[in-house]
Amino acid sequence: MTPAVEFRNISKQFGAVQANAGVSFSVRKGSIHGIVGENGAGKSTLMSILYGYYQADSGDIWLDGRSAAIRNSQDAIRRGIGMIHQHFMLVDTFTVLENIMLGVEGGLVLDAHFKTAEARLREIGTQYKLEVDPQARIEDLSVGAQQRVEILKLIYRGAEILILDEPTAVLTPQETESLFDILRLFRAQGKTIILITHKLQEIFAITDRVTVMRAGAVVGEVDTQHSSREEVATLMIGRHLDSQLSRAPFAPGTEVLQVEHLCLSDRQGLKTLDELNFTVRAGEIVAIAGVSGNGQTELLEVLAGMKLPGHGEIRYLGQTLPYRNRTEADGLPALYRALGIAHAPEDRLHEGLVKDNSVILNGVLGHQHDRLFAAGHFLNPQAMRTHALELIQNFDIRPANPDLRVGQLSGGNQQKLVLGREISAAPKLLLVGQPTRGVDIGSIDTIHRKLLALRDAGIAILLVSVELEEIRALADRILVMCGGKITGEFGAHEFDTTRIGLLMGGVSR
């Protein structure tokens, strides 16, 4: 059978960085084809070339046996290629129908086109089990429903080749399985799906074949039914990965953090945190499971001093944190850091790093006034450089260049820099938001081992993650959040994906 897509010696360079180097492989028509690789392996660049965002420096793309010049995304759409990005491209205040029609309105007489489009949309929804109310506003839909809208948009525009970039990053397990059912239906009806993901369990649950990339090149290609996670992981990172994480027996110490009746409201007066009660002890990892947007971010911001709680009590090492009688949180993060509370935020690029500054400067960000790096008002450049080199070595940050702008690092290496900086401050309490979001399997292993080593050394860790496999690997105790409330609590031995997933989705029974 003629391949749906064929890449022939695709190369692409950005300055000194070779993003793709002679990439060649094909995607069978009517299949689900996975693409995996470490951060910076060239996966997204290759898909951006297929979708017309970038032009290859050399090489060709063939569609259905013919050479295809794809100059922009409009060319790609006309050729039946659609792409769903990790961050949805939807207008929150528009309806489903308005989002579907945006850019393809069809002329001046909108009413007639809207009626025709709505009828077509309902037909597609029924045919592909993608039912969504066309008149519902995006902001009122769940994350899973918003993703269905993105898929509807592609089908409405005639896509036969669908590219999905990390499609399950913000879904519950139930929503993920629903998405996979839809993808299987697409495959059965002859559509071709290209899936970019870091999650090997998804590769083996849904794909027919997987291409593995490393350093911009293809290093392997296997049929998933004849391969294993271990084989693919070894191809990805170029070495064998020990699947067992070493951890000392669970022996928690005294309570480091005590939260009682914690509440927080947004500017509209709606509660984002609603009567939270929990503790974190020394030598314990307490993980909070939940779909993004259910109060986890706000909780970490309150505990890190970035926001003032509306009500409740927060005690750290037996003392109430100094947030009383304040109208603004100015100065609290620095004060909390001085007390021994470290924070690796969920949004590393906007809250944890300054992308135009070097690794050296970002390595001391928030700690630049420490005696190690400064004397009075003057910084110590040599001490800062030495510290950056230690972070690079201890946390395997690549490239190993302390003068490089952080914006030039891959997401995984940015994450290792943030975590390395916070861990190196020797905290008593570590707050970690989405520690491995968008991070490749080799970096995930490095980060998990560092967190477990801290736990074994007696550090209290509060971890927020949407990845249930990550929570299973790290947590001693699990709290589930939905709608700003804690909806369930489990010991590590009680881990149950179905129960946790239901609680994440707001189903209490």
pLDDT in tens, 7-43: 999 999 988 778 999 999 999 999 999 999 887 788 8
pLDDT at site 3: 95
Q: How confident is the model at residue 396 (pLDDT cuts 50, 70, 90)?
A: confident
Handedness of CA 185, 191, 192, 194 (dihedral sign): negative
pLDDT at site 107: 53
pLDDT at site 170: 67
Handedness of CA 381, 386, 390, 396 (dihedral sign): positive
Question: CA 429, CA 338: separation in Å to the nearest integer?
Answer: 12
- Report domain extents, the chain: 5-237, 255-349+427-504
Identify each DSSP E strand in 345-387 by its residue range.
374-375, 378-379
5 strand-pairing partners:
27, 63
Tell me the average pLDDT across 345-361.
Answer: 90
Q: How confident is the model at residue 171 (pLDDT cuts 50, 70, 90)?
A: confident
pLDDT at site 331: 92
Indicate the burial class of 154 (C-beta count within 10 angstroms; 0-12, 13-18, 19 or more).
buried
Question: CA 117, CA 155: separation in Å to the nearest integer?
Answer: 12
Q: What share of the chain is helix, strand, coil (3-state, %, to 5)?
A: 35, 25, 40
| pLDDT tens figures, 120-147 | 888 888 888 788 888 999 888 877 788 8
Identify each DSSP E strand in 267-375 by its residue range.
271-281, 285-289, 311-316, 319-320, 341-344, 374-375
pLDDT at site 440: 75
Indicate the burial class of 493 (C-beta count within 10 angstroms; 0-12, 13-18, 19 or more).
exposed
Handedness of CA 71, 75, 80, 81 (dihedral sign): positive
pLDDT at 421 over 70: yes
Q: Which of 53-62, 246-255, 311-320 has the lowest mean pLDDT?
A: 246-255
Q: Which of 43-52, 367-376, 381-390, 495-504 has the lowest mean pLDDT?
A: 367-376
493 token code pair: 């031995």
pLDDT at 105 over 70: no
Q: Report phi then psi at 241, rounded to 5.
A: -110, 120
Tell me the average pLDDT across 381-400.
Answer: 91
pLDDT at site 482: 92
Tell me the average pLDDT across 291-318.
Answer: 93
Q: How confident is the model at residue 106 (pLDDT cuts 50, 70, 90)?
A: low
Architecture per CATH, 5-237:
3-Layer(aba) Sandwich (3.40)
Q: Which of 162-176, 245-259, 282-296 has the lowest mean pLDDT?
A: 162-176
**Any idea which fold 255-349+427-504 has?**
Rossmann fold (3.40.50)
pLDDT at 108 over 60: no
Determine what percent of the chain is predicted with pLDDT higher than 90.
Answer: 55
Q: Which of 22-36, 98-112, 143-157, 168-182 has the lowest mean pLDDT?
A: 98-112
pLDDT at 509 over 70: no
Q: Do domains 5-237 and 255-349+427-504 have the same CATH topology?
A: yes
For all residues of the chain together, what is the average pLDDT? 89
Q: How confident is the model at residue 109 (pLDDT cuts 50, 70, 90)?
A: very low
Which of 14-18, 422-426, 438-442 has the largest mean confidence?
Answer: 422-426
pTM (2 d.p.): 0.73
Task: Pick the more confident residue, 349 or 370.
Answer: 370
Nearest of 160, 236, 198 to residue 44 by alpha carbon: 198
